[in-house]
Amino acid sequence: MLKENLSGKTVIITGANSGIGFEAAKKLSEKGAHVILAVRNEEKGKTAVDSIMQGNREASIEMMKLDLADLESVRNFTSAFMEKHSTLDILINNAGVMIPPYGKTKDGFELQFGSNHLGHFALTGLLLPLLKKTAGSRVVTLSSIAHRGASINFDNLDGSKGYKAMKFYGQSKLANLLFARELDNRLKQHGIETISVACHPGISNTNLFNLGKGETPKYMKGLMKFFSQPAEMGALPTIYAAADDSLTGGEYIGPDGRGNRKGYPAIEIPAPGVFNEETMTRLWTVSEELTGVYFDF
């Protein structure tokens, strides 16, 4: 059952200045939550805040600087957040980069794996103390149907032995899904009430489809109408994952239509073998070592 009243709840959404994150911020603020837009581009973040406020004068929204491709920025964000807030009800790991040319984060990680997975891994670990002490808290991590057929190539995580943009995107989104499940497993093992849920937007018409060029090309916009859904629909699985009372942790929420590309949110069963325990454990260990963030359960 979707909570209609989120008054008094504090929500962080990464990458909330556009697309899925923006739509989720709008909806959750309509339900009364105090929403923090954690964004890399402060100018775009301010525009997003203004846009939400124009549509809803009662909205409780703030913008904070966060660059997931820079672990120092992640640490600065969490310190600043903890100075202002003593609880955290919902963390939505939404931000992502998709199929850019080969590049690296400030810390030398391949850009997609570093931003999409490692940045969120570190952020979640650093915010865990607040999540643990907030009753009914949850972490929502966005994956993608691009995780299908993907694998984690532990011998080439930095792309130095070859890079294919879509392959590395799939790897980062598989990492998001495995992290969400492994986090939930560990929370339950330690008797912590916080839950972790994964979701994906299907194929949604957002800025992610810019092919690394800043704006979505016009020909792509035309094609997108046929096989995608608008961002408002794409955000529904995120909202469901964030605010549905019936979830107990470990679920994967996606659109209920054909191929899970479009539709309304429903619990989805990933392909058999996706949740490989050995891979999940290894990914967790590698992520802690690379980020220097060790979860204090």
Active site residues: 169
DSSP string, 197-246: EEE---SEESGGGGTTSSS--HHHHHHHHHH-EEHHHHTHHHHHHHHBTT
Please give the full DSSP string across 14-25, using - where no structure is assigned.
Answer: ETTTSHHHHHHH
Number of other residues whose CB lies within 10 A of the CB of residue 80: 13
What's the rounded Cα separation, in Å, for the pair 81 and 209?
31
Cβ-proximal residues to 149 (8 Å cutoff; 6+ apart), any chain: 170
Judge contact between 216 and 160, C-beta under 8 A. Answer: no
In the chain the first and final C-alpha atoms are separated, in Å, by 29
| Residue 225: C-alpha distances to residues 37, 179, 204, 206, 220 (Å) | 28, 32, 9, 11, 9
